[in-house]
Chain A
Amino acid sequence: MKMDSEQLNKVITGCQAGRNKDFAVLVDIYGRKCYGYFYRLTGDREVSNDLLSELFLKLVEKIGSFRGGSFDTWLFTIAMNLFRDHLRGKYRRQKLMDEKSKLVAREESSLEPAGPDTDALQEALGQLDPETAELISLRYFGELSFKELARMRNEPIGTTLSRVHRGLKRLKELMADKV
């Protein structure tokens, strides 16, 4: 579902006024992209489902604070923060499990459904450093420009550009190795 910026602004204004049907439009526009972003970073459908729901509920809370500019950048910044919170939570759970018992940790990690869901690209992304994987996913699913990405990450545009370039090049090599 595509719409021009004027139409999108109307939808956002409707959301800020608390109109349910405008939120539904936002879900239709961004739901798939955000799901893809979460999925490519987690490799887990269930977690991606949860993160997507959480993202839109957060959107309801925060939409009033959107003050113009690029809505995509704004939305994907929330998505990025949610994913980072998820990672931190996962890390804490893992640490707790390690402390309790190595046996339990092994059992729990074997329950994680990453295995059946993963494809070649997922595996290759998993071999990149997490920041680069995140950046590449943001670039692709958020359709964000290098300028927007650099602003999001508070770094010079040249740094973002070379990081994405290196990451994609490495990704291509990893995929070539798998074939």
Chain B
Amino acid sequence: MNMHKENLDDLLRQFHDERTAREIKQDLAEGQALFDENPAPAASPELLDSVKSRIQMKLRTRRYHRSLRYIRNAAAAAAVILVLALIPLFRSPESQTGGKTHVAVSESVLNWDDDGEYGLDSNMQLIEAQLDDISDTLLSLQLGESLSEEPAEITDLEMDLVDTSELFWKG
């Protein structure tokens, strides 16, 4: 037992008188000697070698996982930097000067919508207006509020209804 790390005499004298301290010191030494006289089996060299190999494997695995993590983080950081660098390229000149946040991509989508969606909207409004007119007329007819006595007008209305429906389904 390595007793150089402490001064046992000083320590024991803090708690006991000289005689008791000496007895305790003797008991401690004899007790410790039991371990020297009855040594535990030693760890075999094979066991120590196996522990060393397992440590080596663990270090390798850790290095591998650490590298993977670095690569993943670096790729994510690169992607973020790339996106941040590209954003100004997509900004429209108007938004850059006017301080609006619309980007050029959105502007082009709006331009595409101008051709398509705006046209559709105007057609829809026309169809809705015609349908309203027709349903008003039919309601008046059902209520006997004849706009005209001539059956040709009713036929015209029916034809309008058919045309409007066709136009509606064609989009």
Most buried by B among A35, A53, A117, A143: A35
Instruction: Say yes or no for A165: interface residue by CB 8 A criterion.
Output: yes
Bound Cα distance from A36 to B30, whole angstroms:
19
Known contacts: A49-B47, A60-B58, A146-B11. The answer to whether A121 contacts B52 by CB under 8 A is no
Q: Mark each residue of chain B from 47 to 59: 1 if its CB lies under 8 Å from any CB of chain A, else 0.
A: 1101110111011
Instruction: Say yes or no for B171: interface residue by CB 8 A criterion.
Output: no
A161 touches B15 (CB 8 A): yes
Q: Mark each residue of chain A from 30 to 49: 1 if its CB lies under 8 Å from any CB of chain B, else 0.
A: 01100110011000010011
* Total interface residues in chain B, CB < 8 Å: 34
Q: Which among B14, B27, B47 is the interface contact of A169 at CB below 8 angstroms?
A: B27
Instruction: Say yes or no for B125: interface residue by CB 8 A criterion.
Output: no
B39 CB to nearest chain A CB (Å): 8
B62 touches A18 (CB 8 A): yes
Instruction: Say yes or no for B83: interface residue by CB 8 A criterion.
Output: no
Instruction: Say yes or no for A80: interface residue by CB 8 A criterion.
Output: no
B20 CB to nearest chain A CB (Å): 10
B73 CB to nearest chain A CB (Å): 19
B2 touches A143 (CB 8 A): yes
Instruction: Say yes or no for B152: interface residue by CB 8 A criterion.
Output: no
Known contacts: A39-B40, A52-B43. The answer to whether A165 contacts B56 by CB under 8 A is no
B51 touches A175 (CB 8 A): no
B55 CB to nearest chain A CB (Å): 5
Instruction: Say yes or no for B170: interface residue by CB 8 A criterion.
Output: no
Bound Cα distance from A147 to B56, whole angstroms:
35
Closest to A2 in B: B2
Instruction: Say yes or no for B24: interface residue by CB 8 A criterion.
Output: yes
List residues of A whose CB falls within 8 A of some B CB. 18, 20, 23-24, 27-28, 31-32, 35-36, 39-40, 45, 48-49, 52-53, 56-57, 60, 117, 119-121, 136, 139-141, 143-148, 157-158, 161, 164-165, 167-169, 171-172, 175
18 contacting pairs across A/B (C-beta < 8 A): A20-B59, A24-B52, A27-B51, A27-B55, A28-B48, A36-B39, A36-B43, A40-B35, A49-B43, A52-B47, A53-B47, A56-B51, A60-B59, A146-B11, A157-B11, A161-B12, A161-B15, A165-B27
Extra inter-chain contacts (18) besides given A121-B34, A139-B1, A141-B40, CB under 8 Å = A20-B59, A23-B55, A31-B43, A36-B39, A39-B41, A52-B47, A52-B51, A53-B50, A139-B32, A140-B32, A143-B1, A143-B2, A143-B5, A161-B12, A164-B28, A165-B28, A168-B28, A172-B30
